[in-house]
Amino acid sequence: MVLEHCWGILLRSYLEIPQPSGKMVGVLLLLLLLLPLFLYIAAPQIRTMLSSGMCTSTVQLPGKVAVVTGANTGIGKETAKELAQRGARVYLACRDVLKGESVAREIQLITGNQQVLVRKLDLADTKSIRAFAKDFLAEEKHLHILINNAGVMMCPYSKTADGFEMHMGVNHLGHFLLTHLLLEKLKESAPSRIVNVSSLAHHLGRIHFHNLQGEKFYHAGLAYCHSKLANILFTQELARRLKGSGVTAYSVHPGTVKSELIRHSSFMKWMWWLFSFFIKTPQQGAQTSLYCALTEGLEILNGHHFSDCSVAWVSAQARNETIARRLWDVSCDLLGIPME
């Protein structure tokens, strides 16, 4: 309401005074000087509005097993903490094991749940992904929740250990392979769920099959968008293939969240600082992932995309079944997975 009042004054000043005047200039200068204060006062209301979705499920998870990738920081950490709070046995699948162990101890202390475990997982290396899956399958009899949360954003051009462009390799192909390797365990543990963390940025994404690895042209920001589109296409095709299995899949947009994801971009760091009053906390950002992992009766929305704990609209590209199926086949080929 404060912001609306301010802009109302500005608009009326503009409409009512057709020619520039000292009074008008004074009003404008006053507004410019007071705007930061108005923004500061209104920030809590705006942040609440932007993070309106909350997971209200009261489901408890004793005896359930969950894997959360990228769980040593940000949204992944908050997601893992909440799952542990509800009694699940939670695996923090992290590239930085030392940081993961520190987070695991913190979660154990906060929740009183000692079943918070750390395992090495580097999504930029298929050998690491296969090693994680092999050890997990040998260690656990069940898997009920898989949260594909880890990701990279706006990296300078680089490749994974297997020669994939970093965004597509980590954000899409790494989670594609991990999900494939754990899928039978998820089916055996049904009902079970897979949550893929995507982004509103997918609207700017395109799947350029002739340039999937960014070798012909590359833009760090768009590369992230392309990979987030791939997350949604993967989710939809996965859901189609899993019908009747007892395993359901969902993609989510967590919102604009204060996290380490922007570490590669000085511009994004500046933007996040500038609008810090309006950016979600990691706990708020985790709500939609938790909603899709925990809410009862969500099976009928298998394959849908969510934002603020509600079904969200996706781009035309993200609804293209032909592209989704082709991306699936190309991903299998790149990863050496036999095509069904």
Which positions are annotated as active-site residues? 224
Query: Which CA distances in Å does 32 have to 7, 38, 42, 289?
Result: 11, 10, 15, 39
Q: What are the structure tokens assigned to 168, written together?
A: 């597509």
Q: Which of 123, 117, 133, 52 is nearest to 80 (CA)?
A: 117
Report d(CA 35, CA 3) in Å as an integer: 8
Supply the DSSP symbol for 172.
I
> Which bin fits 183, alpha (ψ -120 to 50), beta or left (φ > 0)?
alpha
Report d(CA 294, CA 298) in Å as an integer: 9
b/e per residue 85-103 (b: at least 16 CB within 10 A) = bbbbbbbbbbbeeeebbeb
> What one-letter code names the amino acid at 68?
V
Number of Cβ atoms within 10 Å of the Cβ of 198: 32
Report d(CA 21, CA 308) in Å as an integer: 45
Report d(CA 285, CA 307) in Å as an integer: 10
Report d(CA 107, CA 79) in Å as an integer: 11
